[in-house]
Amino acid sequence: MAASDTRPPSPRSPVTRPVTARVPAKVNVQLAVGGRRPDGFHDLANVFLAVGLHDEVTATPAESLRVTVEGTDAPHVPTDHTNLAARAAIALAARHGIAPDVHLHITKDIPVAGGMAGGSADAAGALVACDALWGTKTSRTELLALCADLGSDVPFSLVGGAALGRGRGELLTPLETGGTFHWVFAVADGGLSTPAVYRECDRLREETGAGATVDDVPDPEPSEALLTALHTGDPAALAAAVTNDLQPAALSLRPALAETLRAGADGGALASLVSGSGPTCAFLAKDAEAAQDVATALAASGTCRTVRTASGPAPGATVTTP
Ligand SMILES: C[C@](O)(CO)[C@H](O)COP(=O)(O)OP(=O)(O)OC[C@H]1O[C@@H](n2ccc(N)nc2=O)[C@H](O)[C@@H]1O
Ligand SMILES: Nc1ncnc2c1ncn2[C@@H]1O[C@H](COP(=O)(O)OP(=O)(O)OP(=O)(O)O)[C@@H](O)[C@H]1O
């Protein structure tokens, strides 16, 4: 603004150069699933750990909203307004009464429909990238509320690190971690639908006669042993405490995952579990060197499409452009 210009400053200072955000994947080190609520969701005790596999979302000014995707899994990602990143941009623009005219380019490295919150990562990335591009200066509290509307995992993709998620997973309490945990991920051919896995969990519970609603299933609680293991950074103690209530459902829908889990355990993993709703399998290793050994064994086993190593905790959605 010129020195003689007495107009009040604009409340927004949009930028015209592209803004890129980097967002991590997650693994659930504890996923305790309560009964089905009347709204169809399940209450959770969901202990998230962000790990260093990342998507990037670049937001550039455009005539209208447009999404492009690059990466091995790109053909499986929608580029219309159902893309979670597009929905995030629309929600943020609506919140500020502006048009969502932006080109979102997603560089996808997180497996699609793999139980590692890939779509959620892109939504959180789009929110922080668009907020910086549009100069909308949305408060953290408002961003978290927008995230929660977009999906249960999206708030965690924004904050990263480690956190306990209550409610349907959107009510977060950050957790201190005492060290770095080394993971190996076995990526399966094809994804699993998250609602289908929750439905299968309910079906298996009903099959045992126990019932599957909030009236039948005890409230899910975080494990003290697991929280202590995260706090002290002890991989052996964490391995002894990891649990995933969706694992039987994922295995029921994809029985071949049992072989993947066995191959990782045979390769020396301290713990082998399905990541969230699957079908990615996660293996906790003693250290970086042991993770390489587990990765080599999994690759040789022929029980998965690709093997990745990553450590956590990793930071949440972060703008990386100056
Ligand atoms: C399996 C996890 O990834 C673990 O972190 C999440 O619970 C799933 O989170 P998400 O993919 O963000 O899920 P949302 O987009 O919120 O919900 C998709 C569907 O998953 C089921 N769902 C999800 C979360 C939850 N606490 N209970 C549920 O039953 C519901 O059928 C819902 O319609
Ligand atoms: N940006 C996106 N990236 C990936 N999938 C998307 C995206 N937007 C919408 N989708 C749709 O969402 C579905 C689930 O994809 P996603 O990769 O988020 O699953 P997920 O990682 O298993 O999710 P979660 O771990 O949060 O349950 C995909 O099959 C795809 O149709």
Residue range 155-185, pLDDT digits in tens: 999 999 999 999 999 999 999 999 999 999 9
Q: Is 26 annotated as catalytic?
A: yes
Q: What is the pLDDT of residue 1?
A: 42
Nearest to 183 by CA among 316, 29, 74: 29
* Whether pLDDT at 12 is above 90: no
Fold exhibited by the domain 181-312: Alpha-Beta Plaits (3.30.70)
- Of 41, 67, 84, best ligand 2 pocket probe by most atoms within 8 Å of the beta carbon: 84
For the chain, where do the domains classified as CATH 3.30.70.890 start and end?
A: 181-312
Distance CA 54, CA 204 (A): 33
Residue 133 CA, ligand 1 centroid: distance in Å: 29
Closest ligand to the CA of 86: 2
181, 49 in Cβ contact below 8 A?
yes
118 annotated as a binding-site residue: yes
Q: To the nearest 10°, the Cα dihedral for 142, 143, 144, 146?
A: 90
Residues 22, 60, 312: CA angle, nearest 5 degrees: 5
* The ligand 1 atom nearest the CA atom of 117: 3
| Alpha-carbon distance values, 138 to 87, 169, 170, 216 (Å) | 16, 22, 18, 41
Q: What is the pLDDT of residue 16?
A: 83
37, 155 in Cβ contact below 8 A?
no
149 lines ligand 1 (CB under 6 A): no
* The ligand 2 atom nearest the CA atom of 73: 4
| Tally of residues, the chain | 322
pLDDT tens-digit map of 274-316: 999 999 999 999 999 999 999 999 999 999 999 999 999 999 9
End-to-end CA separation in angstroms for the chain: 22
Ligand 2, atom 6: closest residue by C-alpha: 119
Nearest to 298 by CA among 321, 250, 264: 264
Whether the complex's predicted ipTM surpasses the cut of 0.85: yes
| Among 43, 73, 153, 202, the one annotated catalytic | 153
Alpha helices, DSSP H, located in 59-217: 84-96, 118-134, 140-150, 154-159, 194-207
Nearest to 322 by CA among 17, 4, 30: 17
User: Maximum CA pair distance of the chain?
Assistant: 78
Mean pLDDT in residue range 17-46: 98
Distance CA 6, CA 72 (A): 53
14 annotated as a binding-site residue: no
Architecture of the 19-175 domain: 2-Layer Sandwich (3.30)
Percentage above 90 pLDDT, the chain = 94
164, 172 in Cβ contact below 8 A?
yes
Question: In terms of DSSP bridges, do strands 171-174 and 162-166 run parallel, antiparallel, or are they unpaired?
Answer: antiparallel
Mean pLDDT in residue range 178-204: 97
Residue 195 CA, ligand 1 centroid: distance in Å: 7
147, 127 in Cβ contact below 8 A?
yes
For the chain, where do the domains classified as CATH 3.30.230.10 start and end?
A: 19-175
| Alpha-carbon distance values, 294 to 110, 174, 238, 253, 297 (Å) | 20, 29, 17, 25, 5
Helix (H/G/I), strand (E/B), else coil: 249: helix
